């Protein structure tokens, strides 16, 4: 607007300083009123932050106008510039706070999601993760040649708990979980191990490279090796391979 007045009427810019101040002040006040109206309706943290920032800008601008028009102090612009600096600092600080809050929320969400799919005692995935994986396998059935599913049942866990106590039983559960993991490592293929119930485990191997009997033997051998002088817990291993539905129990002491 000042440019148009300068070109059309040849008015020097210095004589239009009042218009410049009036436009700036009116704009800040209008923004404050709009933000306040919106904040009263929604009470959002982002609106509160903007309201504070524009409030600081408005106060600094008003103070600068008072210094110039009433006291004729010509370094009034330093006050307004300082207000602009505070305005930017408030908004930038709020942005950093929001970003850090979002990052923390996502990290906590990832931790909670992982905890919801993990058995705390053994560190294996739990039944919910097992069911999710079965659904994924069904969706990927076309891409999979076959899938091997092992069910491991600790038949003697109740007797151990009753006779030797829960702590010994928990140690047996943890030992069994480690055996299943190690069996997969020995076979040279990654296996997804799950604790589906208190005394039940499941192992899923997609596109297995060795025969089911070799997996079974590997589990049994590892159980015997880790048992040592500790109290052994007999387990049953049930095997199901792809669509062949091969299923037979094998007891390991």
Q: What is the pLDDT of residues 96-155, one digit of tens each?
A: 998 998 999 999 998 888 888 999 899 999 999 999 988 888 877 666 677 788 898 988
Q: Is 192 helix (H, G, I), strand (E, B) or coil?
A: strand
pLDDT of residue 242: 62
Rounded Cα–Cα distance for residues 112 and 120 (Å) = 12
Q: Which residues contact 234 (CB under 8 A, 6 or more apart)?
A: 154, 155, 156, 251, 252, 253
Encoded tokens for 198: 């208190």
- Specify the domain boundaries for CATH 3.30.70.270 within the chain: 127-252
Angle between helices 157-164 and 166-187 (to 10 degrees): 140
Region for 94 from its dihedrals, namely left if φ exceeds 0, alpha if ψ lies in -120 to 50, beta otherwise: alpha
pLDDT of residue 4: 63
Residue 223 class from Cβ within 10 Å (0-12 exposed, 13-18 middle, 19+ buried)?
buried
Contact predicate 119/180, CB 8 Å: no
| DSSP-H helix ranges across the chain | 2-9, 17-42, 45-69, 76-116, 127-139, 157-164, 166-187, 212-227
Rounded Cα–Cα distance for residues 195 and 205 (Å) = 15
Cα three-residue angle 49-54-55, rounded to 5 degrees: 95
Average pLDDT, the chain: 81
Q: Is 221 helix (H, G, I), strand (E, B) or coil?
A: helix
Which residues in the chain come in under a pLDDT of 50? 244-253
pTM strictly above 0.75: no
Closest CA to 46 of 55, 57, 35: 35
Give the other-Cβ count within 10 Å of 74's Cβ. Answer: 9
Per-residue CA distances from 98 to 85, 91, 108 (Å): 20, 10, 15
Q: Which residues contact 9 (CB under 8 A, 6 or more apart)?
A: none
Third-level CATH fold of 127-252: Alpha-Beta Plaits (3.30.70)
Rounded Cα–Cα distance for residues 233 and 252 (Å) = 8
């Amino acid at each position: 607007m000042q440019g148009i007045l300068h070109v059309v009427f040849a008015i020097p810019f210095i004589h239009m300083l009042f218009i410049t101040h009036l436009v700036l002040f009116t704009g800040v006040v209008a923004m404050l009123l709009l933000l306040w109206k919106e904040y009263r309706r929604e009470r959002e943290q982002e609106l509160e932050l903007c309201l504070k920032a524009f409030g600081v800008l408005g106060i600094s601008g008003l103070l600068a106008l008072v210094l110039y028009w009433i006291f004729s102090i010509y370094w009034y612009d330093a006050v307004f510039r300082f207000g602009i600096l505070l305005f930017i600092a408030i908004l930038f600080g709020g942005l950093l706070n929001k970003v850090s809050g979002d990052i923390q929320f996502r990290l906590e969400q990832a931790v909670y999601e992982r905890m919801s799919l993990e058995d705390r005692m053994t560190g294996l995935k739990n039944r919910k993760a097992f069911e999710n994986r079965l659904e994924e396998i069904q969706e990927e059935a076309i891409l999979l040649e076959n899938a091997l599913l092992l069910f491991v049942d600790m038949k003697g866990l109740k007797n151990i708990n009753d006779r030797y106590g829960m702590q010994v039983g928990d140690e047996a559960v943890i030992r069994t979980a480690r055996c299943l993991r190690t069996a997969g490592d020995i076979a040279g293929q990654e296996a997804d191990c799950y604790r589906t119930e208190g005394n039940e485990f499941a192992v899923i191997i997609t596109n297995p490279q060795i025969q089911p009997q070799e997996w079974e033997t590997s589990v049994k051998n590892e159980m015997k090796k880790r048992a040592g002088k500790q109290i052994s817990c007999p387990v049953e291993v049930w095997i199901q391979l792809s669509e062949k539905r091969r299923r037979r129990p094998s007891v390991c002491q």
